[in-house]
Amino acid sequence: MLLQTIQRSWWVLAIYGVISILFGIGAVVWPLTTALALAWAFGVMALAEGVTSAIALFDKNSPIPKGWLALYALASIAFGIVAVIFPGAVAGVLLLFLAAWLVVGGIYRIVFAVRVRKQIEGEWWIGLSGLLSIVLGVLFFAYPAAGLVSVTVWIGAFVLLYGVFQLMAALRVRKLGAALPPR
């Protein structure tokens, strides 16, 4: 029964695959435009979430305290407006947060490697990963546009691969369905 249900909806996997492949190609070919579009899309989603949360403030049976709900609604709406109006700035700020996280994470890894050097072998790999993390973070700070492009290209490559896998799975599920006995 489950197998027949899955087989009947093979086309959903195929649609996910095709959309992912198209997005991946777009991200690889037009990375800056894709990054801006993603920031804009996050803004639209945040606006929708904020409006929905604001409406939920009037629900007497809401399980979430009204103060938290109001704060979330305001934060979502504010972020959404900024992201829709200034998607480039939002994408740039998110990249700077990523750069800061990479630097802090790199320092942490180096400190950790030094602290555990007597307990484990190969701790220098941890330290080296920390150093590489710091270098990448510094490069993102120094060249944010190039960093945004490179991150978007990597995301695009992974989404493209994901789309190919989804499409392959859809075709396998469709083929499997042909081998099933009729209901």
Q: How many domains are contained in the chain?
A: 1
Query: What tens digit of pLDDT does each residue of 93-141 get?
Result: 999 999 999 999 999 999 999 998 888 888 899 999 999 999 999 999 9
Judge whether 85 lies within some domain: yes
Q: Is the pLDDT of residue 2 over 70?
A: no
What is the spatial distance between Cα 99 and Cα 44, in angstroms, rounded to a whole number? 25
Give the range of the structural domain holding residue 48, as residue numbers without chain letter: 15-178
What phi and psi, each to the nearest 5 degrees, are found at residue 107? -60, -45
The token pair that represents 84 in the structure block:
């829709």
Judge whether 24 lies within some domain: yes
pLDDT at 52: 93
Query: What tens digit of pLDDT does each residue of 8-38 get?
Result: 788 888 999 999 999 999 999 999 999 999 9
How many residues are given for the chain? 183
Q: Is the pLDDT of residue 3 over 70?
A: no
Other beta carbons within 10 angstroms of residue 67's beta carbon come to 9
Q: Is the pLDDT of residue 50 over 90?
A: yes
pLDDT at 13: 86
pLDDT at 180: 61
Q: Is the pLDDT of residue 42 over 80?
A: yes
What is the spatial distance between Cα 114 and Cα 105, in angstroms, rounded to a whole number? 14
pLDDT at 7: 75
Closest CA to 41 of 29, 60, 27: 27
List Cβ<8 Å contacts ≥24 apart for 6-13: 6/173, 7/173, 7/174, 7/176, 7/177, 7/180, 8/177, 10/170, 10/171, 10/173, 10/174, 10/177, 11/170, 11/174, 12/170, 13/166, 13/167, 13/169, 13/170, 13/173
Q: Are 43 and 84 in contact (CB under 8 A)?
A: yes
